[in-house]
Amino acid sequence: MAASQSRTFSLLAFFTFSILACASTVSSHNITQILTDSPDYSSFNSYLTQTKLADEINSRTTITVLVLNNGAMSSLAGKHPLSVIKSALSLLVLLDYYDPLKLHGLSKGTTLSTTLYQTTGNAPGNLGFVNITDLKGGKVGFGSAASGSKLDSSYTKSVKQIPYNISILEIDAPIIAPGVLTAPAPSAAVSNITGLLEKAGCKTFAGLLVSSGVLKTYESAIDKGLTVFAPSDEAFKAEGVPDLTKLTQAEVVSLLEYHALAEYKPKGSLKTNKNNITTLATSGVGKFDLTTSTSGDEVILHTGVAPSRLADTVLDATPVVIFTVDSVLLPAELFGKSKSISPAPAPAPETAEAPSPAEGPSPTAASPPAPPTDDAPDSAPSDSPAGSAKSKSANAAVGVSSPSLFTLLVTFAAVTVSVSLRF
């Protein structure tokens, strides 16, 4: 019996190690680390970091990156504003998995693929799609899906694949959609922060920025990077929001500064964030920092008092990004348990006509609906590659999560122990 139990526990240990090894290979990818091993892509890799596209790529589970070597990047590098380069590189990130075998096995020899540029909301028509065409003879062409566009870029070689997680392919030239490189610099839009906020339904927040003088603090941070979390007008009317008239001027300033970061941190960067985030208020008394969590494609901001959901992107123009949030961010340093929160006074009742007893209070306005999840690719890969020497060493992208892994291990342990007790 002792020998049987020994064999059982040995088998359990081996099985556990095997699953852990498998999970570690499919849990995530890091485009920056992958490209670091290839100096030919140093310029491309640098711009992925500067534009924060690397964070967006790393936050997705099925993706193809069309990389440019340093020679091909020379047509973009240093010749356009960073916001324009970000748009151009976004067209090289496909929201589906393509390896060499899939490129040469396209149904009907051609397909349109959704790119990261399409998710920005700045791509009307087919500007956010890429045309991929198998030209036979080993050649595959890429071009904008916009009407009249040519296949100006060609596949040159495979760089790395982790099926079906990430595929990295080299192409010989940028894919240029009409109007992308000629887009105006965002300076005009960024210079009118209050106008953008008012148009996005954040008039209360915009007014507070002006009356408190914090708007100047925001504007002074623009050149080096600025991220704004603007509560909607409905957020200020929500139950539990403190009466701002009870705050001192210094506290109002800290509250408003708490709604901004002195860095460019778009949604992809927030999704992959693991650390505390410092705000413009952090330099004052206390920490005044934020943490984040995700649920699908949603980003949740945590203050230590109450969470707030990232609702919409008002502007994403490197190095400035402005979001709307569905709740006022309440820092624990001002509204923690040690300090009571005085709710804002209710508006005076109308004197024209009193409501009948049957009538209840009007419901609190709901926050805007959650944005659609865009993590999933347009369609699951329909054909599994036979596997090259590079891809055979990698596991299929099965996405083993920690809870699933724990459940599997516990189930296996229970079964094996149960069997061992029979002998």
pLDDT tens digits for 309-351? 999 999 888 889 999 999 999 999 999 853 444 455 555 444 4
**What is the Cα–Cα distance from 109 to 146, expressed in whole angstroms?**
18
On the 0-12 / 13-18 / 19+ scale of CB atoms within 10 A, 248 is exposed
Collapsed DSSP state (helix, strand, coil) of residue 323: strand
What does the pLDDT look like over 261-286, one tens digit per residue?
Answer: 999 999 999 999 999 999 999 975 55
Alpha-carbon Rg for the chain in angstroms? 26
What residues pair up with 227 in beta bridges, in sequence order?
A: 261, 321
pLDDT at 317: 86
| Average of per-residue pLDDT across 294-299 | 90
**What is the Cα–Cα distance from 377 to 399, expressed in whole angstroms?**
14
Q: Which of 186, 244, 175, 252 is nearest to 51 (CA)?
A: 186
What does the pLDDT look like over 125-157, one tens digit per residue?
Answer: 889 999 999 998 889 999 999 998 999 999 999
pLDDT at 386: 36
**What is the Cα–Cα distance from 375 to 267, expressed in whole angstroms?**
13
Alpha helices in 213-358 (DSSP H): 214-220, 233-237, 249-257, 267-272, 332-335
Collapsed DSSP state (helix, strand, coil) of residue 282: coil
Place of tokens 């009409």: 178
Collapsed DSSP state (helix, strand, coil) of residue 4: helix
Place of tokens 């507070």: 208
pLDDT at 124: 82
**pTM confidence score:** 0.66
Per-residue DSSP letter, 104: T
What residues pair up with 133 in beta bridges, in sequence order?
A: 110, 141
For residue 11, give the H/E element and its range.
Answer: helix 2-26
- What is the maximum span of the chain, computed from C-alpha positions, in angstroms? 89
Alpha helices in 27-61 (DSSP H): 31-36, 42-50, 53-58
Q: Is the pLDDT of residue 202 over 80?
A: yes
pLDDT at 277: 93
Describe the strand order of the beta sheet including 307-317 as a list of residue ranges: 260-261, 226-231, 320-325, 307-317, 298-302, 289-295, 277-278
Q: Which of 421, 420, 416, 419 is nearest to 13 (CA)?
A: 416
pLDDT at 136: 81
Angle at 44 between CA 384 and CA 176, to 5 degrees: 80
pLDDT at 284: 53
Q: Is the dihedral of CA 349, 351, 355, 357 positive or negative?
A: positive
**CB 131 within 8 Å of CB 144:** yes
Which region among 56-65, 192-201, 381-390 has the lowest average model confidence (pLDDT)? 381-390
Q: Is the pLDDT of residue 413 over 80?
A: no
What does the pLDDT look like over 238-261, one tens digit per residue?
Answer: 988 888 889 999 999 999 999 999
| Average of per-residue pLDDT across 37-43 | 95
